[in-house]
Chain A
């Protein structure tokens, strides 16, 4: 496994735009707006998975992650989207 590089991968799982997110709505209404920070108009909550991945290159790391997210239902495609970002480990 000498040719592999290590990457840090962030997977963010959040609800699709039209799916209600009561946690985000509550944070916006009862914490942010009620405390006078009226500049904020929307809050969405989600889940962050942070992974360390060994792969040939960035593209390969992303491909492995995309397949994993689909095969292992890391997100539920009915209601959620997942965003994958890969960065080199420094």
Chain B
């Protein structure tokens, strides 16, 4: 089993992601420069957070045209797990692998804080060992994280169970005042219909070691362990 973590000019969470996979979960993992045009040897790919190309034009749009994205699309079509974290989520949206748009936060501020997420769908490649409706602690750190989608497409998203994670309060309820960025329906993460491609704004790689969490939690590990579980069964 081999995992690729893609690296673009301006990525800055690739080493955190690599560290969790390689040293915490002890999986064969490589950092792959975005000009690589062959990922045939990899079972899954992760697009990490950061500010690819300085977020010029829009977060993720220039990275979406990098050579590696042809391979990422191929892997997505083959049913291999593809995960986009933060800027990686933006890149998957801009590449057309996930629907909708990620717009500037309604406050226009860069938001960096711990959030609570409710697992809406535990049948994806990245949530399959989570309990449905369980609460995960993970931090967000973004300026363009307001998920938006047209009403008719939102219905499609709901009908196909593609909303994976939502921002909730301490009681596990979605509410406007807990919504950090103004995302429609408090959406924090979505998947494709098949569930093998997921994007999320929160950072599981920053929430995978108790020493780095104010709550001594490691909920982010569940995302990566779900991916391994999915690959073992595949």
Q: Which residues of A contact B (CB under 8 A)?
A: 19-20, 22-23, 26, 47, 72-74, 76, 78-79
Interface residues on B, range: 10 to 19
Q: Whole-angstrom distance from the CB of B143 to the nearest CB of chain A?
A: 12
Once the chains bind, are A73 and B148 in contact (CB under 8 Å)?
A: no
Interface pair A79/B61, CB less than 8 Å apart: no
A80 to B149, CA, bound (A): 12
B27 interface contact, C-beta 8 A: no
- Stretch from B100-108, B206-214, B217-225 at the A interface: B100-108
Q: Is B57's CB within 8 Å of the partner chain A? A: yes
Q: Which residues of B contact A (CB under 8 A)?
A: 57-58, 61, 64-65, 94, 99-101, 103-108, 148-150, 182
Q: Decide: A78 near B148, CB < 8 A? Known: A72-B65, A73-B64.
A: yes
Partner of A76, one of B58, B65, B106, B108: B58
Which of A26, A74, A78, A79 touches B57 (beta carbons < 8 Å)?
A: A74
A49 shortest CB reach to chain B, Å: 8
Can you add 17 more A-B contacts, CB < 8 Å, to A76-B58, A79-B103?
A22-B104, A22-B105, A22-B106, A23-B108, A26-B108, A72-B65, A73-B61, A73-B64, A73-B94, A76-B61, A76-B94, A78-B99, A78-B100, A78-B101, A78-B149, A79-B101, A79-B148
Docked complex Cα distance between A19 and B106 (Å) = 11
A23 near B94: Cβ-Cβ < 8 Å: no
Distance between A8 CB and nearest chain B CB, rounded to angstroms = 20
